[in-house]
Amino acid sequence: MSKNNIMNTYSRVDVTFEKGLGSKVYDINGKEYIDFVSGVAVNCLGHSHPAIIKALNDQGNNLIHISNLYWNTNQLDLAKKLCDYSDHDKVFFCNSGTEAVETAIKLARKYGINNGTSKKNEIIFMENSFHGRTMGALAITGQEKYQKDFMPLMSGTKSSKFNDIDDLKNKIDENTCSVIIEPIQGEGGIIPAQIDFLKEVKKMCEKYNALLIFDEIQCGVGRTGSLFAYKKFEVIPDVICMAKGLGGGFPIGAVLATQKAADAFAPGDHGSTFGGNPLGCSVSLAVLNELIDNGVLDKVDEKSNYIINNLLILKEKYEVLDKVQGMGLMLGIKLSIDKSKLISKCFQKGLLLVGAGDNVVRILPPLNVTKEDIDKFIYILNEVLNELCN
């Protein structure tokens, strides 16, 4: 099997997968792995979930794509469901998280011009953040390693220290059109925002008539134990960027906005050929139905507590495990040894994990993960830590 035709943009592990079921995936040799990467928080219902398969089959036999020059029923139903379960009024559909961020950037810039002057175009982002790899998203990503080879980036951006309200107060002014924040920094190392910090950011945005944007691409769609991460942080943003788990593995993204924010856009300001297509929206509706109506979300906190308690036992046992952080089923373990060693050994034993930030290993199981698979995860992790420490 030739791998020479794929562009060299990922440091891939030398394994080829061909099948998945629930929390498990199988490579071309039939080896089984417990998947606690979940496509990096994408496969919220695991692999080959019956509800997703049914939605793909049923809608595939009906209508796959229709232009946004016309309405389609699934798009209308999905928009209504998202708005009904949030504090927001309007939705724009796209295909990915980075596209959602690009939409939010344009919405913020347009809002600034409509509600100020041509100078009200500055976007404040957080240090250590990650919002995507397109040129606009890169410009508001607070990690130089992703930016350095693609300069010059979009102008009109400022960085501010995460969880440091004094620094933000020194940066925000009348020219600020928006502040963008991940409620939990994912790529940066599973670092939650402080509730008091977010409340003060909201006040500053209201003072300067700037939009508060939450990037919930990784931490949203039930990852924290609520459908929207902002519900856990007691702050309502003006705009929310969504993707990843929204389609449970099928590409779909969305931007939710309050009426005042959404009103900035007019026909022609933005678009997406495939955004909100009937097939993607059908799958997303099936995912939300499982999460909300069939009770998957109701069990996330219980599973989270079970994992955290077991990780804390391992922390007492192994000094190399410094810290357990995050919430819901978006957790991280901070190590005092090279994270790649642990990830590699876990892979050899049939457990998939992914790193983040400063020596943090992310734990991102499907939201419907079973206790049996959690126990297998803990068993393998204990084995690997024991080998690394002895």
CATH number, domain with residue 114:
3.40.640.10
Number of domains in the chain: 2
CA–CA separation, 286 and 268 (whole Å): 31
Residue 390 has pLDDT above 90, yes or no: no
In a shared domain, residues 155 and 250: yes
- 137, part of any domain: yes
In a shared domain, residues 197 and 313: no
pLDDT of 57: 98
- Residue 7 DSSP symbol: -
Tell me how far apart the 2 most distant CA atoms of the chain are, in Å. 64
**Of the residues 245, 271, 293, the one at which a domain ends:** 293
* Torsion angle of the four alpha carbons 321, 220, 17, 339, in this order, in degrees rounded to the nearest 10: -20
In a shared domain, residues 207 and 265: yes
Q: What CATH number did the domain enclosing 372 receive?
A: 3.90.1150.10
Residue 3 has pLDDT above 90, yes or no: no
Pairing of strands 360-363, 176-181: unpaired
Neighbours of 323 (CB within 10 A): 13
The answer to the question of whether 36 is labelled as a binding residue is: no
Coil vs helix vs strand at 141:
coil
The answer to the question of whether 215 is labelled as a binding residue is: yes
The answer to the question of whether 337 is labelled as a binding residue is: no
pLDDT in tens, 148-188: 999 999 999 999 999 999 999 999 999 999 999 999 999 99
Q: What percent of the chain has pLDDT over 70?
A: 100
Q: What is the pTM of this model?
A: 0.96
In a shared domain, residues 341 and 280: no
The answer to the question of whether 130 is labelled as a binding residue is: yes
In a shared domain, residues 78 and 184: yes
pLDDT of 117: 82
In a shared domain, residues 329 and 243: no
The answer to the question of whether 218 is labelled as a binding residue is: yes
As given in the structure block, the two tokens for residue 177 are: 């059109």
The answer to the question of whether 216 is labelled as a binding residue is: yes
In a shared domain, residues 286 and 324: no
As given in the structure block, the two tokens for residue 330 are: 């978006």
The answer to the question of whether 16 is labelled as a binding residue is: no
Query: Closest Cα partner for 98 from 253, 228, 227?
Result: 253
In a shared domain, residues 106 and 215: yes
In a shared domain, residues 194 and 230: yes
Q: For the chain, what is the mean pLDDT?
A: 96
Which residue range forms the structural domain that includes residue 335? 17-48+297-389
pLDDT of 226: 97
Residue 360 has pLDDT above 80, yes or no: yes
To 5 degrees, how large is the angle CA 301–CA 228–CA 366? 50
Distances (CA, A) of 227 to 77, 111, 184, 291: 17, 27, 14, 8
Neighbours of 161 (CB within 10 A): 15
pLDDT in tens, 239-267: 999 999 999 999 999 999 999 999 999 99
- 363, part of any domain: yes
pLDDT in tens, 272-321: 999 999 999 999 999 999 999 999 999 999 999 999 999 999 999 999 99
The answer to the question of whether 134 is labelled as a binding residue is: no
